[in-house]
Chains A and B, each alone.
Chain A
Amino acid sequence: MTATTQANPAAASHVRAVRTGRIIVWSAAAIIAFCLMFAPFLFPDVRAQQVAARICVFIVLAASYDLLIGYTGIVSFAHTMFFGFGAYGAAMALKSMGAGFDAIFLGGAAGVALAALLAVAIGVLSLRVKAIFFAMVTLAAASVMMVLASQLSDFTGGEDGIVYSAPKLFSPATKLLTDDNGKVLKILGVSMNGKVAAYYFVFLSCLLLFYALVRIVRSPLGTVLEAIRENELRAEAIGYRVVAYRTAVFVIAAIIAAIAGVIWAVWLKYTGPESTLSFAIMIDILLMVVIGGMGTMVGAVLGVVIMTLAQFYLKDVMAAAAEATSGLPLVPHLVDPDRWLLWLGILFILLVYFFPAGIAGTLMKKGGH
């Protein structure tokens, strides 16, 4: 082994480049995991915790989308629809049954079951045709659901959405740990109240779901999915029933997205079309997965963090730019903070052209084939 490496210095440098790339990706992932695990202690203010919880939930959402688009080559635009099913299920139950874990469980289970059922229907109906057809069908289905959610206001609260309270354990007034005087115990200056419990509920459930996804991808099922993505006809010829596998993975992704929706609903204590179902979120997920790197799982983590941070910091930069160019025609409108998606869109197009493997994919396979 050593002899061949020495004989071929180009191959050796390639191996080294790949190794460097892997180290960069994995250490970035490790830093993110560390930050998320200790987020309540590292970033104590409310806004940062909101961002951390959003990152957790969206990592699961983006990773389950990666299972579809990256591993199986299915382009679906209905992912937020399933996310919304879970969220609305939990929200309606919490609203009507009162704040309790039984409501979360029952409502969440109903939402997840409905998501799975609809995923089976859509999958059986349209996964036997080409990717592009499926993309159109899911887009139509998702937009109809969005309209239904905002029109059936008796059930869903319409455009205003549903406001409810989470179980008592998660309310800021709950004392998790008390000191000798019966007051809330502070660790590293952070009071151990229900907010911390809520965050760790989000973090741990998301960690569990992400672990499940990684296991699915590493399992024999994951290998079959990659085979289907690479060469559908050949996979069919070897004896794998492509439609069955595709439908199965679509259902799995839908279920995980719905569970992520339940978690998001419990954390946010609000569920509305804009926070769960909107096409903007679907675009966000798509950008996250593609920017991070399709078919890598760890890419989803990087993509979510980069997009979420960009959403906050790019706006600041653009506000400054708009200020500086305020005398020119049209230019200030183009660099207006509300137009951050414009620049992200351009970046996205360039990325799909030049680095279709995304950040994680490009770094881990540095040097090319």
Chain B
Amino acid sequence: MTASDVFNRFGGVNLLPVILMILALPLIGSVSSWVTLTVAGLAMGMMIFLMASGLSLVFGLMDVLNFGHSAFISFGAFIAASVLAALAAWVSADSVILNALALFAAIAAASLFGLLAGWFFERVIVQPVYRDHLRQILITIGALIVAEQLILAIWGGAPIAVARPSFLEGSVIIGDVAIETYRIFACLLGLAVFVALSLVLNRTRIGLLIRAGVENREMVEALGFRIDRIFVGVFMAGSALAAMGGAMWAGYQGLISGALGGEMMILVFIVVIIGGLGSIEGSLLGALLVGLLGNYVAFLFPKLSLASNMLLMMAVLLWRPWGLRPAVKL
């Protein structure tokens, strides 16, 4: 049995994040900082996963790549910040219920905006240019410019501080390891979304249609299903997830500016490329790799943190030009 057989038997590419974690331990040296960095990496990965999954599915289903996706991330972050600012009394209140309500309201507002804006975006911006990649790229870039300028016009150029609900402040301390509560929350939320998405995709009729559409759109259409209607739904859900990811990111960072969407977009693209287009599992895998590697490298070699993701992408592309777990081949 060769090494690659062993590798494939124990999960293949799914093992990569685990291998990365094990490799990082001796390099970092101290167990407590390793745990802190790993949890931070997982949390970051989960938030990026929220943003990337929608983009990946939208592309897989309809061959549409939305360069304006980052607009939803930014809008989500700013809307969540505004809601939290408006509910300042609840956010700082001593009761966990009020805290949770404020947080829920912020995330719900961002996601709701994502749903509505996604519908508008799909109908007005994307629909007229189906199956024309060049114009798709141009139009969504145009929409991105407009959206970024709108954010600047509404919220101004100065960075905005985001209030974090007080029950998510502070850390959980186990032995000599301190873990920020917010990171645990981000991990749990990301995991919940992943499980929900997997269930919908694998266990429901609509999920079956979506997966079939990713595999072969024409055939599903020929069988009499209106794939364009399903696509609007997927686009809306993807935009809502991006806005939710943006909202979570706003709370994680604590300080947001108009450049946020653009910065995250680069990570999201890298994740989608690494993971392979069209698959939820690929997005999760890519997001975890990017989050973990980003945090480890930022600790070990601070200057290389963004370049590390680029190198990771190059390495993956050399190894597997379609990404780690693609659902569609380009």
Contact = CB atoms under 8 A, between A and B. Distances in A.
A and B associate:
yes
A353 B136 CA distance: 10
Contacts of B307: 144, 147-148
A336 B136 CA distance: 29
Interface stretch (A39-47, A123-131, A181-189, A245-253): A123-131
A352 B272 contact: no
Given A69-B134, A125-B318, A349-B142, A136 B65 contact: yes
Contacts of A147: 306-307
B273 A137 contact: yes
A35 to B, nearest CB: 29
Interface string B273-315: 1000100000000000000000000000001001101100110
B97 interface: no
A362 B317 CA distance: 39
B212 interface: no
A125 B322 CA distance: 11
B153 A330 contact: yes
Interface stretch (B33-41, B143-151, B189-197): B143-151
Interface size class of A (residues with CB under 8 A): 35 or more
Interface residues of B, number: 43
B19 interface: no
A188 to B, nearest CB: 42
Given A151-B303, A349-B142, A352-B139, A144 B134 contact: no
B133 A130 contact: yes
Given A125-B314, A132-B65, A352 B269 contact: no
B154 to A, nearest CB: 7
Contacts of B322: 129
Contacts of A333: 153-154
Interface string B57-71: 001000001010000
Contacts of A151: 303
A126 B317 contact: yes
Nearest to B259: A279
A356 B141 contact: no
Contact of A345 (B135, B145, B154, B313): B145
A136 B154 contact: no
A342 to B, nearest CB: 4
A318 to B, nearest CB: 12
Interface in B202-237: none
A18 interface: no
A234 interface: no
Contacts of A144: 266, 306-307, 309-310
B135 A339 contact: no
Nearest to A122: B314
B145 A140 contact: no
Nearest to B314: A125
A75 interface: yes
B163 to A, nearest CB: 24
A352 B135 contact: yes
A135 interface: yes
A13 B158 CA distance: 56
Given A73-B134, A128-B321, A147-B306, A345 B149 contact: yes
B152 interface: yes
Interface in A295-352: 330, 333-334, 336, 338-339, 341-342, 344-346, 348-349, 352
Given A330-B153, A333-B154, 13 more contacts: A75-B133, A126-B317, A128-B321, A133-B273, A135-B67, A136-B269, A283-B141, A341-B149, A344-B145, A345-B143, A345-B145, A345-B149, A356-B135
Interface of A: 69, 73, 75, 125-126, 128-133, 135-137, 139-141, 143-144, 147-148, 151-152, 279, 283, 286, 290, 330, 333-334, 336, 338-339, 341-342, 344-346, 348-349, 352-353, 356
Q: What are the 8 tightest A-B residue pairs by CB atom distance, in nearest-first order?
A: A342-B149, A345-B145, A345-B146, A349-B142, A144-B310, A348-B142, A333-B153, A132-B65
5 contacts: A126-B321, A139-B269, A336-B153, A342-B149, A346-B146
